[in-house]
Homo-oligomer: A and B are copies of this chain.
Amino acid sequence: MAEEEKRTVQIALIGAGTVGSGVLRILAENAEIIARRALPLQLRWLSVRNKDRGQRILDELGFGETRLTTDWQEALADPATDIVVELIGGITPAREIISAALAAGKSVVTANKDLMALHGGELLQLAAAHQANLFFEASVCGGIPIIQALKENLAGNRFLEILGIVNGTTNYILTRMQESEADFAEALADAQALGYAEADPTADVEGDDAARKMAILSSIAFNSRVTYDMVSSEGIAGISRWDIRYAADFGYTIKMLGIARCDGEAVEVRVHPVMLRNSHPLATVRDAYNAVFVQGDALDKAMFYGRGAGGAPTGSAVVGDIIAAARDLARGCGSRWGCTCYRQLPVRHIDDTVSKYYIRVQVQDRVGVFASLAQALSAASVSMDSVMQKRKLPDGGSEIVIITHPSRHSNIRVALDLIARMECVREISEYIRVEDDAD
Hey, which bits of chain A sit against chain B, CB under 8 A? 1-2, 22, 25-27, 29-30, 33-34, 36-38, 128-129, 137, 143-145, 148-149, 151-158, 223, 279, 281, 284, 286, 296-307, 310, 312-313, 315-317, 319-324, 327-328, 331-336, 338, 340, 342-343
**A335 — which chain B residues lie within 8 A by C-beta?**
1, 331
7 closest A-B pairs by CB = A156-B319, A302-B306, A145-B153, A331-B333, A298-B316, A153-B320, A303-B305
Assess the A316–B26 pair: CB atoms within 8 A.
no
Assess the B22–A298 pair: CB atoms within 8 A.
yes
Please, which residue of chain B has its CB at the minimum distance from the CB of A298?
B316
Assess the A30–B297 pair: CB atoms within 8 A.
yes
Please, which residue of chain B has its CB at the minimum distance from the CB of A129?
B2
Given A156-B316, A297-B312, 5 new contacts (CB under 8 A): A30-B157, A33-B223, A145-B148, A153-B324, A299-B307
Please, which residue of chain B has its CB at the minimum distance from the CB of A278?
B284
Chain B min CB distance to A280 (Å):
10
**A316 — which chain B residues lie within 8 A by C-beta?**
154, 156-157, 296, 298-299
Given contacts A2-B338, A128-B2, A284-B281, contact A26 B298 (CB under 8 A): yes
Q: How far is it, in angstroms, between the C-alpha of A88 and the C-alpha of B385 when the chains are bound?
A: 51
**A25 — which chain B residues lie within 8 A by C-beta?**
298
CB<8 Å pairs between A and B, sample of 15: A36-B342, A37-B151, A37-B155, A137-B153, A153-B317, A156-B315, A156-B323, A157-B316, A281-B305, A298-B312, A300-B310, A303-B304, A304-B304, A305-B305, A331-B335
**A155 — which chain B residues lie within 8 A by C-beta?**
34, 37-38, 319-320, 323
Q: How far is it, in angstroms, between the C-alpha of A297 and the C-alpha of B319 when the chains are bound?
A: 13
Assess the B144–A302 pair: CB atoms within 8 A.
yes
Q: How far is it, in angstroms, between the C-alpha of A338 and the C-alpha of B331 when the chains are bound?
A: 13
Q: Select A223's contact among B26, B37, B304, B313, beta carbons within 8 Å.
A: B37
Q: How far is it, in angstroms, between the C-alpha of A159 and the C-alpha of B29 when the chains are bound?
A: 13
Assess the A312–B299 pair: CB atoms within 8 A.
yes
Assess the A306–B313 pair: CB atoms within 8 A.
no
Assess the A305–B306 pair: CB atoms within 8 A.
no
Chain B min CB distance to A128 (Å):
6
Chain B min CB distance to A136 (Å):
12
Assess the A303–B301 pair: CB atoms within 8 A.
no
**A128 — which chain B residues lie within 8 A by C-beta?**
1-2
Q: How far is it, in angstroms, between the C-alpha of A281 and the C-alpha of B334 when the chains are bound?
A: 37
Q: Select A152's contact among B297, B323, B340, beta carbons within 8 Å.
A: B323
Assess the B297–A29 pair: CB atoms within 8 A.
yes
**A342 — which chain B residues lie within 8 A by C-beta?**
36-37
**A306 — which chain B residues lie within 8 A by C-beta?**
299-303
**A313 — which chain B residues lie within 8 A by C-beta?**
298-300
**A307 — which chain B residues lie within 8 A by C-beta?**
299-302
**A327 — which chain B residues lie within 8 A by C-beta?**
152, 336
